[in-house]
Structure 1
Amino acid sequence: MKNKSVLGSVTLLSALIVAACGTGEKKALETTVALTTEATTTAPTTTTIASSETKEVSLADTQRVGREDVGYFNVPKDWVAYKDPNGGPQFQYASKDSYNMITINGYDKDQLHVNAGETFGAELLANRLYDGWQYNPKVEKTQKEKTKFAGEDAFLFKIQLKDGKYLFQWVFQRGEKVYDVLLEGTENTVATLRPVLEQTWGLDSKTPGQ
């Protein structure tokens, strides 16, 4: 039952996507993520995202999941498919108690509903989502940064809820689509799975990071 508050927040944020919020973006902190990954049974020996700092992440106890419209990524082997009872097209995978969860959406120009005077892209979606978090009564604090996700420039929101739950949300563009990836759970889960997501998300169903 602990996951209900965040699932409600996800539904709220999805609704905000169809309308422009019209607020200015805060100055972002530039960060760089750099990781090297060990092999899985379906992965190459290493997958590297260029950076000044290298961190090895084992994928030995993970499984590759995903969907063509939102991309593919690795999660712990004991995680299971999850479907938000409120519906929606997002793709979700969660721990068995549903407290720790990953939710991914992908949007093209028609799905993002770009209004007159707006420019399609990650910044447009990031501004809308961030405004939603700023006004969400369940949120204790938020932080917005610029970073890298799967080799792409990305906006990252670090969010802590009043009930103690942690959330990391990335917004980025690849090709003609904008994606948002939401990781939620305990502080330890978010810290552990962050590099796995950043390293393994891609459009190839078999090869992490591709």
Structure 2
Amino acid sequence: MKNKILLTSVTLLSALMVAACGNGEKKTAETAAAPTTEVTTVAPTTTAPTTTASASSTEKKVSFEDTQRVGREESGYINVPKDWATYQDKHTGSQFQFSSPDKYNILSMNAYTKDSVKLKDDEKFGAELLANRLYNNWENNKQVKQLQGVKAKFAGEQAFLVKVVFTDGKYMYEWVFQKGEKVYAVALEGTADTINTLRPFFEQSFGLDPNTPGK
């Protein structure tokens, strides 16, 4: 299941970059982009554990002492636990991936330029468009049990966060946001506890500097 989830996520963002969505896109634009900025929700649904902090994870200062900085120039850099290692699913193309030792919790990162996205005449390249395409396709996936789209802060940017709960109980958060001329996609797949724990590290550490978190 884990490989299938990752493959689907990559396929959605990669394949959809070169093929515009159908008539359902207007519906997703209203669903994924309309919610107000998220401030307290940490899990995809009320059935998942929530944070014990009253403020959003972007407001909490975290310690990067037990983390390592990973990534690459094309897709950005982020901090993950020290015991995580390089992971590459052969079906997921060239995206950057890192995983926990058991390979159940997986980070995936990718970035897109305007030239890599096929746009309709009335479409504008940006994070909102790509997030809506992603949401629309998860909505039609039979492996998805629950789906939610919200706005959230990520790496100091306004991001669109797509939260997925799969039928096997696994979770996935995917942040889509723009920095400069690129739209970045950062996905974390795994248990609810892992997402709750790593979310603030991800939100605060992602950046374009290979050495300094958040830069």
Length-normalised TM-score, structure 1: 0.86
Partner in structure 2 of residue 70 of structure 1: 75
Partner in structure 2 of residue 134 of structure 1: 139
Q: CA deviation at 1:53?
A: 7.7
Structure 2 letter corresponding to 1:79:
W
Q: CA deviation at 1:52?
A: 11
The answer to whether the Cα contact below 8 Å between 2:144 and 2:167 also exists between their aligned partners in 1 is yes
Instruction: Give the secondary structure class of the aligned counterpart of 2:147.
Output: strand
Q: Does residue 115 of structure 2 align to residue 110 of structure 1?
A: yes
Instruction: Give the secondary structure class of the aligned counterpart of 2:86.
Output: strand
- Take 1:53 and 1:128, find their aligned partners in 2: how far apart are those partners? 25
1:131-163 CA-partner distances (Å, limit 9, x unpaired): 111011100001110111010011011110000
Q: Does residue 9 of structure 2 align to residue 10 of structure 1?
A: yes
RMSD: 1.8
Q: CA deviation at 1:200?
A: 0.1
Any stretches of 5+ residues in structure 1 without a counterpart?
34-50
The answer to whether the Cα contact below 8 Å between 1:93 and 1:101 also exists between their aligned partners in 2 is yes
Structure 1 letter corresponding to 2:144:
V
Q: CA deviation at 1:96?
A: 1.8
Q: CA deviation at 1:113?
A: 2.2
Structure 2 letter corresponding to 1:29:
T
Task: Say how many residue pairs are matched.
Answer: 192
Structure 1 letter corresponding to 2:35:
A
Q: CA deviation at 1:5?
A: 2.6
Length-normalised TM-score, structure 2: 0.84
Any stretches of 5+ residues in structure 2 without a counterpart?
41-55
**Structure 1 122/52 Cα, relative in aligned 2: closer, same or farther at 3 Å?**
closer
The answer to whether the Cα contact below 8 Å between 1:21 and 1:127 also exists between their aligned partners in 2 is no
User: Going by fraction, where is strand more abundant, 1 or 2?
Assistant: 1
The answer to whether the Cα contact below 8 Å between 2:85 and 2:99 also exists between their aligned partners in 1 is yes
Q: Does residue 35 of structure 2 align to residue 28 of structure 1?
A: yes
User: Going by fraction, where is helix more abundant, 1 or 2?
Assistant: 2
The answer to whether the Cα contact below 8 Å between 2:164 and 2:171 also exists between their aligned partners in 1 is yes
